[in-house]
Structure 1
């Protein structure tokens, strides 16, 4: 990592299970038709906000010229929402995230790298169930989940604390790479857990609600982590409502 790394974190577009209000966890579910449209919209938003060259007085500044001062100058122009060029897309290997990542990478003309640590929480016995049925099927377990117990392990799954540890570790590893700006396509639960760990809000119940195809930006540098943008969905206004929540 150089002076800093900018992570543009994207929750995948709506999946077929999101549309049914069904728990996904690590079940490999594809995008819905709406999710594909959302992914195309977020890809365009990322392309529009990442600049490869800029001219203030008719002279083009090549941001790819490896001059740190030029990249910093572009980054600091946040009032225009211009960021350093996106060089890489990281993705969960689960289909709903990978489909989203492929649409983004194709629009940006950058490669994709997958990492299994970016998968959603393993929701164990909750997976594949309609949310409205969980209280009846698993009354004790679902109550503990809703209470936000960090160490409660969903039967046959994992806990929020395990997810926070995994999520924070993978984002820090990504931030240690040589790029200046990357996209991370993952899941609502994973990204929320990672944010809680990195920003020191572990004991706050659901402080970050990330909608499908939203953009959340982090600046990670040796001095710490800064949340720059949270759950930006402006690019989805003409498409329709996006789902929130985790899992």
Structure 2
């Protein structure tokens, strides 16, 4: 598996109606709702003090919308890359996350990876393609601070491989995956680029 060579930024898209309803969204191509647009604008404010050089978004509209709002604020174009598209949840698409957890007696969101359906994307494939995408783009844009605008499952898969666990991710909140020696940490970026 290809791994990133240096630190990078990730931003989960703003909310959609399906997010608010607690449904598996995966590859279903929903738009941001009004809260999601406000979250994208807030993310742009948080990133104002960060020297972002490249913005890359998942091709799903909720990620593209979020990236375009941030890109407009930072005067940067948005590139699209399917390597960071959300996990395909197969037959779970559109289902209630809470009901699915109850049905399978799961107590933590990270346990969902153990019951992903065979007609969806394998969990290991999510991290492999996302990390490969990041590594490739870092090689292409040497020295540039890259912001990847993507999805929760993608960011959790990355965190699991690099940091060893899931983390508390929120809509429209930028994080830095920071390489520290041989290890990695993930930190929220606060107001005006502060960590």
- 1:216/1:230 contact within 8 Å kept: yes
Larger Rg over CA atoms: 1
The answer as to 2:150 corresponding to 1:186 is yes
Among 167, 171, 187, the residue aligned to 1:230: 187
- 1:218/1:225 contact within 8 Å kept: no
- 1:89/1:105 contact within 8 Å kept: yes
Among 205, 208, 218, the residue aligned to 2:167: 208
State the match for 2:23 in structure 1: 22
Q: What RMSD, in angstroms, separates the aligned Cα atoms of the two structures? A: 2.8
Shift of 1:37: 0.3
Structure 2 gap segments, 5+ residues each: none
State the match for 1:43 in structure 2: 44
Structure 1 gap segments, 5+ residues each: 51-84, 236-247
Shift of 1:19: 1.0
Deviation string, structure 1 residues 47-96 (Cα, Å, up to 9, x no partner): 1x22xxxxxxxxxxxxxxxxxxxxxxxxxxxxxxxxxx211100001011
What is the rounded CA distance, in whole Å, between the counterparts of 1:188 and 1:17 in structure 2? 14
What is the rounded CA distance, in whole Å, between the counterparts of 1:197 and 1:114 in structure 2? 23
State the match for 1:217 in structure 2: 176
Normalising by structure 2, report the TM-score: 0.82
Among 161, 177, 185, the residue aligned to 1:197: 161
Aligned residues: 187
Structure with the bigger RCO (C-alpha within 8 Å, sep 6+) is 2
- 1:121/1:158 contact within 8 Å kept: yes
- 2:46/2:174 contact within 8 Å kept: no
Normalising by structure 1, report the TM-score: 0.66
Superposed counterparts of 1:6-155, under 5 Å: 6-47=7-48, 49-50=49-50, 85-134=51-100, 139=103, 148=111, 153-155=116-118
Deviation string, structure 1 residues 3-49 (Cα, Å, up to 9, x no partner): x74422101111111111111011101111001001001011101x2
State the match for 1:174 in structure 2: 137
Runs of at least 4 residues off by over 3 Å = 145-153, 223-226, 231-235
- 1:168/1:197 contact within 8 Å kept: no
